[in-house]
Amino acid sequence: MQNQNSDKVIIITGATSGIGLATAKELAGKGAYIIGTGRSAERCAKAEKEIMENCPNGKVCYIRADLSSLTEVKRLAALIRERLASNGINHIDVLINNAGTVSSWYVSTVDGFELQFAVNHLAPFLLTGELLPLLQHSKEGTVIGVSSGSHYRTKMHWKDVLLRKHYNCLLAYKQSKLANVLFATELNRRAGKVGSSIRAYAVDPGLVNTDIGLKGTDGIVRKVWKIRSRSGTPVEQPAHSISFIAAEPAARKTEGVYWKDCTPLKPSRYSQSEDAGTRLWELSERMCGIKFNLNHSEI
């Protein structure tokens, strides 16, 4: 019997370690064609080799990209399109926006945006928009973002979204994770209005034992992460939740935008605000210089 995922095309950002790599391994094992991304060419090659060793019959390739740069995000999208076209593929079934970052100090990207907002929100927003035509060509185009339970306890700081005046590491992180849920919700809302089959989800991985909190942090933030992450779950647990949405038809038949442990949960009330969703969407389009076209008939 043919694996139902054998012809699925799945893009996973931040797939050289942690949750992203674990997700790539699981989905490659299910027969999907995986295109992973990472910032380091060396780590991309290592991850690709590791997956192929675990899944000898798997189809996987990696593309290097620094998602803190909007130009790099556009370049990545172009390379993905070229890679798929060279293989006679005109669709993407699942886009998993997994890449994320944390920074103890205010870092301005090459585009002038705060680093966490740029990597955790603007990059997924722009990459989704750039790859939207390919997602629209899939019967069940799916966009999955990795959010956090911390989104329950914050709101968007519209007067200073980039937190230039009063930067706080945890506040910047929480706001970017809230943006993930707002984006998924608004994408579903807009897709529904034009009859698009695109569906978006935000996955809460819970506390996971990864080194994300060690890469761009110092002082108390780094110390706290070291202590807390020891009690975190293995990366395979949230990876399985992401893979469930990506690979199981039953997931799309279940209502809910926010998931944890393969189960839909009620997100924060604020994350479901149409006003907040519209405001963030329009702001993100201006920042990224893109306009989404969800009308399938025009693609």
Domains within the chain, CATH numbers bracketed: 9-101+111-208+235-298 (3.40.50.720)
Identified catalytic residue from 152, 173, 201, 258? 173
Confidence band (pLDDT; 50, 70, 90) for 281?
very high
Picking from 194, 141, 174, 187, the residue whose alpha carbon sits closest to that of residue 280 is 187
Residue type, 290: I
* Contact in structure between 127 and 95 (CB atoms under 8 Å): yes
Q: What CA–CA distance (Å, rounded) separates 121 from 283?
A: 12
Q: What is the mean pLDDT of residues 187-201?
A: 96
Does the pLDDT value for residue 222 go beyond 80?
no
Instruction: Compute φ and ψ for 153, nearest 5 degrees.
Output: -115, 35
Arithmetic mean of pLDDT, 147-174? 96
Q: Are 117 and 176 in contact (CB under 8 A)?
A: yes
- pLDDT for res 163: 97
Higher local confidence (pLDDT), 151 or 218: 151
Phi, psi of 108 (to 5 degrees): -95, 130
Asked if residue 298 has pLDDT above 80, the reply is no
**pLDDT level of residue 214 (50, 70, 90 thresholds):** very low
∠ CA 72-114-186, rounded to 5°: 80
pLDDT of residue 30: 94
Mean pLDDT of 154-159: 97
Q: Residue 3: what pLDDT?
A: 57
Task: Please report the pLDDT score of residue 249 as a whole number.
Answer: 86
Average confidence (pLDDT) over 8-22? 97
Within 10 Å of residue 107's Cβ, how many Cβ atoms?
Answer: 17
pLDDT at 2 over 70: no
Count Cα neighbours of 174 within 13 Å in the Cβ-side half-sphere. Answer: 15
Least confident residue range of 120-129, 226-235, 277-286 = 226-235
End-to-end C-alpha distance for the chain, whole angstroms:
34
pLDDT of residue 295: 80
**Average model confidence (pLDDT) across the chain:** 90
Per-residue pLDDT for 94 more than 80?
A: yes
Average pLDDT over residues 250-275: 94
- pLDDT score at 207: 83
- Given its phi and psi angles, is residue 122 left (phi above 0), alpha (psi -120 to 50 degrees) or beta? alpha
Phi-psi region at 256: left, alpha or beta (left = phi > 0; alpha = psi -120 to 50): left
Q: Are 202 and 149 in contact (CB under 8 A)?
A: no
Rounded average pLDDT over 219-227: 49
Confidence of residue 299 (pLDDT cuts 50, 70, 90): very low
- Phi-psi map region of 31: left, alpha, beta (phi>0 left; psi -120 to 50 alpha): left
Mean pLDDT of 71-97: 97
The amino acid present at 149, given as its one-letter code, is G
Residue 201 appears among annotated catalytic residues: no
From the CB of residue 299, how many other CB atoms can be counted at a distance below 10 Å? Answer: 13
Closest residue by Cα to residue 20 from 193, 229, 262, 236: 236
